[in-house]
Amino acid sequence: MIFKRRDPKPTLRAVAEFLWPRGGWTRAFHYVKHRMRRLPDSPERIARGIWGGVFTSFTPLYGFHFIIAALIARTMKGNILAALMGTFFGNPLTYVPIGIASLKTGHWILGTRMHEGEHRSFVGKFADAGADLWVNFRAIFTHEETDWTGILVFADEVFYPYMIGGILPGIICATISYYLMVPLLRAYQKRRRGLIKANFEALKQKAAHKADAKRKAD
């Protein structure tokens, strides 16, 4: 295939680069920021897209963040590419604090209690639910018995509180991102237009000088 890597990336290397990209997360953040600034759209539309991406990062629907962010951006008439970039607000460095904040908020809204140390089993409950899904999938083709225990515990103690609790901090962080990005994007685009205009004028002057020099030579 044309776009297939000649040297397939080993699984462990792919996982390691997902958790820690080449050059570190700082370089990855600056790359996303640079690409976002250069999007050919109005600051408000780009910022609305970012709003959708940041908000989506507070949902427990991992694997569907791009789709959800794109749908939110389309509904809000925001830039879809900016929404996809905005989902990078959720990354391996922020998933744990986002998860804990969402869970605590969810338990507070639902009137339930988050037991001390529950956040330490947060990843474990995700793993248990995934293991149950795999076992139940195999049970379709084998004589294994289905087991929904891990999924039910995950849904009751993690997914539902997380989904409910992620709404408030998601709206707050997304709205802060919107109001921060609009003036920054507006200033950047104005500066970029000024640079383009200055370069264009410089090229015009250079062409004019060449034309004058040619006329004098003739």
Whether 8 maps to a domain, the answer reads no
Whether 61 maps to a domain, the answer reads yes
Whether 16 maps to a domain, the answer reads no
Give the residue carrying structure tokens 């609790």: 165
pLDDT tens, residue by residue, 156-198: 888 899 999 999 999 999 999 999 989 988 888 788 777 767 7
Spatial distance between the Cα atoms of 189 and 40, rounded to a whole number of angstroms: 9
Is pLDDT above 60 for 9? no
Over the range 159-189, which residues count as b (16 or more CB within 10 Å of their CB) and which as e? bebbbbbbbbbbeebbeebbeebbeebeebb
Is pLDDT above 60 for 29? no
pTM of the model: 0.69
Is pLDDT above 90 for 42? no
Whether 218 maps to a domain, the answer reads no
Spatial distance between the Cα atoms of 69 and 89, rounded to a whole number of angstroms: 12
Is pLDDT above 80 for 58? yes
Whether 134 maps to a domain, the answer reads yes
Q: What is the pLDDT of residue 112?
A: 82
SS3 state of residue 103: helix
Question: Based on the number of CB atoms within 10 Å of its own CB, is 87 exposed (0-12), middle (13-18) or buried (19 or more)?
Answer: buried
Whether 94 maps to a domain, the answer reads yes
Q: What is the pLDDT of residue 1?
A: 41
**Banded model confidence at residue 51, pLDDT cuts 50, 70, 90:** very high
Domain count along the chain: 1
Greater pLDDT, 208 or 11: 208
Whether 154 maps to a domain, the answer reads yes
Backbone φ, ψ for residue 182 (5° rounding):
-55, -55
* Full residue range of the structural domain in which residue 167 is found: 43-212
pLDDT tens, residue by residue, 135-163: 777 777 887 777 777 778 778 888 899 99
Whether 36 maps to a domain, the answer reads no
pLDDT tens, residue by residue, 88-129: 888 878 888 898 889 889 989 988 876 555 544 666 776 777
Q: What is the pLDDT of residue 203?
A: 74
